[in-house]
Amino acid sequence: MIHVNRGATSLGVFSEEEIREGLRSGRFTSSDIGWREGMATWQPLSQFPELAETAAPGVPPVQPDAGPALTSVAMRAGLPWEHRQERGFVSAFIETLSIVLTKPAEAFAIMKREGGLGEPLIYALIGGCVGGFVSFLFSLGFQSVGLFKDQQNGLAAMAGMGIGSVAIVILLPLFIVIGLFIGSAIVHLCLMIVGGANQPFETTFRVLAFSQGSTGPLQMVPVCGGLISGVWALVCTCIGLARAHETDTGRAVVAVFLPLVVCCGDSWLCSCSVCSAHGPQRIIDIRRNAASRSAPCPG
């Protein structure tokens, strides 16, 4: 994917074929400048080897001091999903899914920090619902194997299929929305605690929404899809927060894992407190049982 600018104005992010077609149709000119991951500076489209046959040569290079300023503009050109009116609904979703899963650093470097919560929320709902529902169908398929072993359990599973399907269709989108808002609020608070929240809550929400929406379909992988989806969601979220908030990755990692550590710590403390409360009584009961067993029988 290549970022294209005309002066200081970002034209968006396009594939090589789209740029070739744009050069032929007049949408782009050879003086437009481009940048992609791995390049040190911006270059005119005429200096891209793969576009040399289409773009006219002889365009003067961009001034060296113009690179950083233009990079800042183009790096927020937006993900393909944010340009779905031009790219098409399905194409924009697949392209966003692909770039977030395979190149999260690049994806969140061009993601718009602002622009509303609606677009990322819809994306997260689509990805999460598709992955969750297919995963549910897989679980029903694995349970159906028991139909040949235990008829009673099989009939119970069949009876629960309709109820479970209706429940997941109704509740899954609700759980995704609630979890996304609560999770974003907690992560943003932790990011503020560690000093990495350089952008508003909306930016954090957009990172989590695009991360969850992209990793949700990974649940469709049989057996271990849930684990893969969860792990990669954490990775994408950490990278996304670092790029979107322009903070170091360490702060982003701490902000993401701090709630998990706190929850695990609370659970461990509760377990210890329960054991402490019942431990002495348990010892007394054991001693009483031992004494009753060792006592001689009457007569």
Per-residue pLDDT tens for 59-110?
344 444 444 444 444 446 789 998 888 889 999 999 999 999 999 988 998 8
The position carrying tokens 């899963």 is: 101
What residue ranges in the chain does DSSP mark as E strands?
2-6, 9-14, 33-35, 43-44
Two structure tokens written together for 62: 């961009």
CB 219 within 8 A of CB 134: yes
Identity of the amino acid at 208: L
Q: Output the pTM of the full model.
A: 0.62
> At how many degrees (to 10) do helices 118-144 and 89-102 cross?
80
Q: pLDDT digits over 217-266, tens only?
A: 998 888 788 899 999 999 999 999 999 998 888 999 999 998 878 776 55
> Which has the closest alpha carbon to 133: 171, 179, 181?
171
Residue with the larger pLDDT of the pair 277 and 200: 200
Give the DSSP letter string of 233-281: HHHHHHHHHHHHTT--HHHHHHHHHHHHHHHHHHHHHHHHHHHHHHHHH
